[in-house]
Amino acid sequence: MARIRDLSPNKQRITAHSLDKSVVCEHQAVEDADGAQLLHLSTFGSKDRVSHPKSSQSLQFDAKIAAQLTQVFRDTFGDEELGIQTRWDLAFPTGVTLDPSILTNAYNKNPDLFRELIGNDEAADDVVAMARRRNQVALFKGLLTDPDFFARAVEETSSESPEAVWQRFFEDNAWIFGVSLSGQFLTEWSDEKLEQVVVGNSIGGVGKRADALMRTSGRIKSMVFAEIKTHQTKLLRKDPYRPGCWAPSSEVSGAVAQVQGTIHRTVDQIGRRLQEKASDGSDVPGDYTYLLRPRSYLIVGDLTSLHGESGGVHEDRFRSFELFRRNLTEPEILTFDELLARAEWMVSTSAVPDSNATKLDKSEEGLALS
């Protein structure tokens, strides 16, 4: 009879016992003098014993030794062989953390179960959407602040064009424009592609393209245009036009003229409103998009280009740029770093709409860029 006080590996040379000499083991719970629960195991003689069964050996384990022995069983035979199904209790009290590898291993063993659980959670879509948006904002920041990372992204585009990198990014993340550019909620014109031909065969009738074609949401919709350049575009000319005054760069002034010309040609060809068409070409009753001095945006440059040699703000340059864009109503100019700041704010507030309250059609879910 013995109570186990320590459990450790055995290094003796041991062989398996024969089943012919097997014994019966019975168990029961007992308490020691201090009231601690123990597990008592008793073995009885082999089946060949002539006399009445009599306890020959007994062992007792407390909870500590039992826990160690349980782990020995699991290590020896494996949970599957023992029929053990791991139970996860994630309702940890404050201050208790969970090793991410535990959940990762559990997911790898049974991903379908996790997907089923998430699929039954009404808030799961919102959680997944916000997680993706945070990842995309991190990508946005990498493209904007890491020149090597952006250069690799340019190489991966078929045209190796810097503008193509941003076009593709905003095609995938139209939600950034949806509430960033305007006080009104903007949605993409088409759920297939942000870039659209606005004067030509696609929507009206020698093809002018807008990098982003959008429209406002509401009972009455209005068309909105956006032109996307790159964060590397210089906002001002290298040298001042007069002491303390810098003119906008040729890229910025050219982009402004491009946007204005595109809008003028579009309005001139389409008129003041555009009738929405069904898939068979018929009119959708009462569904119009208006072109009454359409709002337009130019996404270009980075405000850090207005810093001086020491890294601080060059006030004359900043004033020149700010006064230029403040007095320019068509298009409104927004820099890439300003757009990133708005996107970072959106994900930091975790402001994902309630899934039950805002079930939108595909055409109403983001922003349309052309």
Domain borders along the chain are: 1-6+22-85, 171-364
DSSP 362: G
Per-residue pLDDT at 252 exceeds 70: yes
Nearest to 273, CA basis, from 183, 204, 212: 204
> CA–CA separation, 144 vs 151, rounded Å?
11
Q: Among 127-136, 190-199, 247-256, whose mean pLDDT is lowest?
A: 190-199
Over residues 241-245, mean pLDDT: 93
Top-confidence range, 73-77, 187-191, 267-271, 311-315: 311-315
Between 179 and 54, whose confidence is greater?
Answer: 54
Q: What is the pLDDT of residue 362?
A: 33
DSSP 248: B
pLDDT in tens, 103-140: 788 788 888 887 777 766 666 666 667 788 889 999 99
- CATH class for the domain made up of 1-6+22-85: mainly beta
pLDDT in tens, 142-158: 999 999 999 999 998 88
Q: What is the pLDDT of residue 95?
A: 60
Strand, helix or coil for residue 28: strand
Direct distance between the N- and C-terminal alpha carbons of the chain, in angstroms, rounded to an integer: 85
Residue with tokens 């093809």: 207
Q: What is the pLDDT of residue 152?
A: 94
Over residues 17-34, mean pLDDT: 87
DSSP of 123-138: THHHHHHHHHHHHHHH
Strand, helix or coil for residue 106: helix
The count of other CB atoms within 10 Å of the CB of residue 227 is 24
> CA–CA separation, 67 vs 145, rounded Å?
53
Q: Among 13-22, 88-97, 174-183, whose mean pLDDT is lowest?
A: 88-97
Q: What is the pLDDT of residue 288?
A: 73
Q: What is the pLDDT of residue 305?
A: 93
Band of residue 27 on the pLDDT scale cut at 50, 70, 90: very high
Average pLDDT, the chain: 78
Q: What is the pLDDT of residue 194?
A: 43
Per-residue pLDDT at 196 exceeds 50: no
Please report, rounded to a whole number, the percentage of residues in the chain having pLDDT higher than 70.
74
Give the predicted TM-score (pTM) of the model: 0.57
Per-residue pLDDT at 242 exceeds 90: yes
Contact 200, 207 (CB under 8 A): yes
Over residues 309-337, mean pLDDT: 93
Q: What is the pLDDT of residue 108?
A: 83
Please report, rounded to a whole number, the percentage of residues in the chain having pLDDT higher than 90.
30
Over residues 81-94, mean pLDDT: 66
Per-residue pLDDT at 94 exceeds 70: no
The C-alpha R_g of the chain, in whole angstroms, comes to: 35
Per-residue pLDDT at 261 exceeds 60: yes
Q: What is the pLDDT of residue 90?
A: 56
> CA–CA separation, 237 vs 251, rounded Å?
9
Residue with tokens 């990508």: 139
Number of H helices, E strands in the chain: 11, 12
Residue with tokens 């009206």: 204
Beta bridge partners of 40: 28, 60
Q: What is the pLDDT of residue 352?
A: 45
Label residue 13 left, alpha or beta by phi (over 0 means left) and psi (-120 to 50 means alpha). Answer: beta
CA angle 331, 275, 229 (to 5 degrees): 25
The count of other CB atoms within 10 Å of the CB of residue 209 is 16
Per-residue pLDDT at 296 exceeds 90: no
DSSP of 312-358: SB-HHHHHHHHHHHHT--SSEEE-HHHHHHHHHHHHHTT-PPPTTT-
Contact 320, 249 (CB under 8 A): no
Nearest to 194, CA basis, from 218, 222, 224, 219: 224
Phi then psi for 162, rounded to 5 degrees? -60, -40
| Alpha carbons within 13 A on the beta-carbon side of 304 | 8
